[in-house]
Amino acid sequence: MNNIKIDHSAAATEFNKDEARVNWHDETLWFVRSKRDKAVFQIPEWEQLREAGSQIKNHVLSNLHDYLTEFEKKATENGITVHWAADGKEHNEIIYSIIKNEGVNRMVKSKSMLTEECHLNEFLKEKGVEVIDSDLGERIVQMREEPPSHIVLPAIHLKKSDVGDTFHEHLGTEKGATDPQYLTEAARQHLRDTFLTRKVALTGVNFAIAETGGFVVCTNEGNADMGAHLADVHIAAMGFEKIIPKAEHLGVFLRLLARSATGQPITTFSSHFHKPRAGQKMHIVIVDNGRTTQLGRADFRNSLKCIRCAACFNTCPVYRRSGGHSYHTAIAGPIGSILAPNLDMAKNADLPFASTLCGSCSNVCPVKIDIHDQLYKWRQVLVKDGHVSSVKSIGIKSMASVLNSPKFYRTAGKLGRFLMKTAPFMVNNNMNVWYNQREMPEVPKESFRDWYLRKRN
């Protein structure tokens, strides 16, 4: 996403100008949530599975150093080159240096949200390296020069007709084509050529296993495999929280991930990489990029349990009606709103407020992150650190002064229901915002307290 600050509310207002499209977006994602429900209700022990996933991840977060060094040792023994990147910049530079050493200027990439977080594509473009995202959704948004709007379904904000228009422009398909089979075939042919001609392939990592030094990549299209198996060099990029202790723990996480993400029992491809094949080079870039800071925040550290399933996106009534781009960060949705302030509080101060705190996100989370409680806690941190508008601050302070004092509260209530103007749901002191699209409550003759005094005292 570009660097211009667009606040969530403003972007959501824009998105809501086309109500039919909002309905479609909401229903599409609700369909995914419903698929998830069907899939998890098939497993009687689902809640125990979530608890197991949560506990394994908690254990990992408390023993990260040991598991990461164990992983590094095993991976190195397997013939994989392990790199450590303190931040996005270092991650990008490491990847660029690998590409440069191979003497090429093109790379194929399979979906990796980490590279979005680090803005790798933009960085490499500046260096003259062409990157082609090979997952269909990623490829579509890349052609449109948009960021993904969803971490699992990157082009979910687009309709078939939008894809038809994009492919017409970039791949020369027939104008106005909307047939999914036809459009997918065009993408397939285009990507086939890419796979055959790229010497370097980059993939993400879903799970890195400390005891084996191997890693697992979960996809539905198999493009990660196509890229990695045909290239001379395979680079895998991972945030350091992707580590799990043992291979047997995959039995927990692979089940949790796919059911939560798309309602599938397991992803179509769960590809296990352990060592480079003969003649191939394999690199792993392990990235911090703010994760250590988050690990040090007692209230927010367990956000690092996230396995990027996006169940919280699909269930979020706000996300479904504001679209992924309204979150102006690589990882949108509820989980993005608790991760992003860690990276940049000033820039992402609006995100923890883009929620009604309904709590559905925490309930679907396969590793039991208390997402909505963390949204509440981030609000406190952001206000204390001064990331709040002075208008809001004055409004809340005046409301607090009314509600802190029984006398002031009653006087305010009596003064022609002055409270109408400072009522909790109108704290920006602008009645019109409620009234634009909703009627005000009818003002009764007397308050409950007045009635009580009249009738019962």
Partner 1 sequence: MKVALFIPCYIDQFYPQVGIATLELLEKLGCEVVFPLNQTCCGQPMANSGFEHLNKDCDNNFVENFKGYDYIVSPSGSCTLHIKDHLHGSDETASKHIRKNIYELSEFLIDVLKVKNLTAKFPYKVGLHQSCHGQRGLKIAQMSELVAPPFSKAEQLLGMVAGISLIQLDRKDECCGFGGTFCVTEEAVSVKMGKDRVADHTRNDAEVITGSDVSCLMHMEGILRRQGSKIKVKHIAEILNSVVS
AA identity, residue 155? A
Q: Are 257 and 366 in contact (CB under 8 A)?
A: yes
- 312-341 residues in contact with partner 1 (CB under 8 A) are 315, 317-318, 321-322
Of 134 and 362, which has the nearer Cβ to partner 1?
Answer: 362
Cα-Cα-Cα-Cα torsion 90, 95, 97, 103, nearest 10 degrees, comes to -170
Alpha carbon 332 to chain centroid, angstroms: 4
Q: Are 226 and 133 in contact (CB under 8 A)?
A: no
439 scored as a contact of partner 1 (CB under 8 A): yes
Kindly indicate which of the ranges 53-61, 177-185, 208-216, 416-424 contains the residues binding partner 1, using the contact rule CB under 8 A: 416-424
Q: Residue 433 phi/psi, 5° resolution?
A: -65, -40
Give the relative orientation of helices 180-197 and 136-143 as an angle to the nearest 10 degrees: 90
Kindly indicate which of the ranges 39-47, 76-84, 109-117, 200-208 contains the residues binding partner 1, using the contact rule CB under 8 A: 39-47
CA distance linking residue 319 with residue 151, whole number of Å? 13
CA distance linking residue 338 with residue 382, whole number of Å? 12
Closest CA to 285 of 57, 98, 73, 64: 98
355 scored as a contact of partner 1 (CB under 8 A): yes
Alpha helices in 291-370 (DSSP H): 291-295, 311-315, 319-322, 333-343, 345-348, 360-364
Of 339 and 382, which has the nearer Cβ to partner 1?
Answer: 382
Among 32, 40, 258, 284, binds partner 1 (CB under 8 A): 40
392 scored as a contact of partner 1 (CB under 8 A): yes
- Pairing relation of β-strands 207-209 and 243-244? parallel
430 scored as a contact of partner 1 (CB under 8 A): yes
- The vertex-105 CA angle with 205 and 238, nearest 5°, equals 15
356 scored as a contact of partner 1 (CB under 8 A): yes
- What does the block give as tokens for 281? 């080079």
Query: Closest approach of Cβ 270 to partner 1, in Å?
Result: 23
404 scored as a contact of partner 1 (CB under 8 A): yes
CA distance linking residue 422 with residue 247, whole number of Å? 57
Of 12 and 82, which has the nearer Cβ to partner 1?
Answer: 12
20 scored as a contact of partner 1 (CB under 8 A): no
Size of the site for partner 1 (CB under 8 A): 82
12 scored as a contact of partner 1 (CB under 8 A): yes
- What does the block give as tokens for 335? 């989980």
- 265-294 residues in contact with partner 1 (CB under 8 A) are none
308 scored as a contact of partner 1 (CB under 8 A): no
181 scored as a contact of partner 1 (CB under 8 A): no
419 scored as a contact of partner 1 (CB under 8 A): yes
29 scored as a contact of partner 1 (CB under 8 A): no
388 scored as a contact of partner 1 (CB under 8 A): yes
CA distance linking residue 309 with residue 311, whole number of Å? 6
Among 1, 6, 22, 177, binds partner 1 (CB under 8 A): 22
427 scored as a contact of partner 1 (CB under 8 A): yes
Among 196, 400, 411, 415, binds partner 1 (CB under 8 A): 400
433 scored as a contact of partner 1 (CB under 8 A): yes
